[in-house]
Amino acid sequence: MPLRCLVLASGRGSNFQALLEASARPQAPFTLKALITDRTPCGAEALAARWQVPAECLPYRDFSTRAAFDETLAHRVRAAAPDLVLCAGFMRVLGPSFFDACPAPLLNIHPSLLPAHRGLHTHRQVLAAGDAFHGASVHWVTRELDGGPLLAQARLAVAPEDTEESLAARVLKLEHALYPQALAYLTEGGWNAPPLTLGWDGEALVPWP
């Protein structure tokens, strides 16, 4: 049975679109049952309408405290009863109030090779550090920011001419392939499967090394 997933998103929704397209393939290992955003309008909201995925917005600015937002979001997730929650460009850091109230497991995709370069501006961090490789990680969401166990990673070589913008574009394309692949790996290997490590040749995911 495909995993029933709820997506959390904040922005243009490019990873959400990649997940939508993958979920529409024959024998896809997951389905997208709902979307929750924290701002409106946003690209993810428009995509949900186009793909007829039920969507709800919880504007974070409408809440007086972070805890109030987290508790309401947890309530909405519990009501939807998904097998799995997928963070796809969701820009809110979830606090203790959310984790205290929400039993559903969460995955996130982060544009770095965790545990390196947590937080924001990862492409800038990679260039400043002189790293030879960059990439993306799909990891379990815990109370520690970008600190949960890894499910899958994919990497690419940093070129001498790379800029923040060129790295961002290449890593985003990698993310669009990695997130659906990680979900397929999860359904095949089980919830305790060891982390999957892949490379990116510019067009497709490949075995690593």
Q: Which residues are catalytic?
A: 110
Tell me the C-alpha distance between 183 and 117, whole Å. 23
- Per-residue burial over 6-39, b if 16 or more Cβ lie within 10 Å, else e, is bbbbbbebbbbbbbbebbeeeebbbebbbbbbbb
Pairing of strands 55-57, 150-157: unpaired
Question: Any idea of the CA torsion for 7, 11, 17, 19, to the nearest 10 degrees?
Answer: -30
∠ at Cα 13 (78, 169), nearest 5°?
135
Q: Which two tokens stand for residue 152?
A: 């899958």
